[in-house]
Each structure stands twice: as C-alpha cells, then as structure tokens.
Amino acid sequence: MMTIGPNKYQLYLKIIVLVIDILLIGLFVIKTPRIDADYISRMILTSILFFVMFLVLFMIAIQLLILPISIEINEGSNSIILHFLISNLVIIRLEEITEFTEFSFRNKSSVYEGILVKANGKEYMFSNFNLVDYDPVLSFLKNTNIPFSGKKKFNMIKYFASYLKVIE
C-alpha cells in the first residue's frame, strides 16, 4: 500500500486563510459602524468587503470539502482510498472507474497538473494542487485496462460547480 500525502503548503495556507476569514467576518458582524455623515460610504465599503470575504470563505471551504488531502493506493485490493479533511473517506475500486484524464490549469502564480478519475458518476481530482505527488496514481491507473481519455482543458470553477450539483 502506498500513501500520498497532502500538498502541505496549499493545505495549511487554506486553513490559515479560512480561520482569518471567519474571524474577520465575525468582526464585521459584531462591530457595527457609527451613524454619521460617512455612514453610507462606510456601509457600501463594508458590504463589498464582507461579500469578498464570504466568497473567499466559500471557495476555500468547497476545496477542503471536495479535494482529497491524501490517497492510499492498495494494489492488493485494486482500490484507491481517498481521505478528505471535512468529509468521509471514499474507497474507489478499479472496476468502478470508467475513465481517467490528464489535465493542467494555471492560477496567478503556478501551473498545476493532475488527473481526473471518473467513478460512480463523480469526478475526482488528483493533482499537485492538493497532493504532494499524483504520479503514483497515474502510473497505477496506466497499468490497468481503464480507458485513458488523453489530455483535457480544465476549469476549476466548473469542476466545483459540477461536484456541487452531484451533492444536491
């Protein structure tokens, strides 16, 4: 059995930003502005900041919910075990996987590569965005008869949106 751990930089940064964001939102909720001549402009600014912080909170919470923080590859039982920070672990047997695809995406500072595995009507993302290394999973899947769909253009927001539709 091989275990692949989290991309600690990404994981810790998300948790720190999440905690700071929750504290700032709490501060905005508790602290009410004074009513004076600048009340309207302060309320508009406060509303915009609150919205941005809530959006950041939502995006990070979704990532922590959806993306696995570690993976175990069990060649003996032909399965991949996904560990999540917030939700329950998922066991994917090889016979449940219909296909897998390689992808890459870029954010402002980095280019991330990975694979999407389709199993049980869901897509699971394994990449250097959320894991230390996804190559062992890629090698494990390439050594099976699971169809490989080539490289795909990837959009993180569409991925999260499609996953949320499955949850509903």
Q: How far apart are CA 65 and CA 14, in angstroms?
A: 12
Return the structure tokens found at 154: 């990837």
Return the structure tokens found at 69: 């923080």
Based on the number of CB atoms within 10 Å of its own CB, is 40 exposed (0-12), middle (13-18) or buried (19 or more)? exposed
Return the closest-CA partner of residue 86 out of 18, 159, 2, 158: 18
Return the closest-CA partner of residue 69 out of 157, 7, 138, 133: 7
Q: What is the per-residue pLDDT for 168? A: 44
Q: What is the per-residue pLDDT for 51? A: 87
Q: Options 3.30.720, 1.10.10, 3.90.930, 2.50.20; which CATH number does 94-167 get? A: 3.30.720
CB 160 within 8 A of CB 66: yes
CB 144 within 8 A of CB 153: no
Q: What is the per-residue pLDDT for 32? A: 60
In the chain (168 residues long), the average pLDDT of successive 10-residue segments reads 83 86 78 65 77 85 86 90 87 92 84 89 87 89 87 82 64
Nearest-5° angle of CA 162, CA 164, CA 110?
Answer: 65
How far is the CA of 112 from the CAs of 104, 123, 142, 147, in angstroms? Answer: 5, 17, 20, 23
Q: What is the per-residue pLDDT for 15? A: 87
Return the structure tokens found at 94: 């090889």
Q: What is the per-residue pLDDT for 33? A: 58
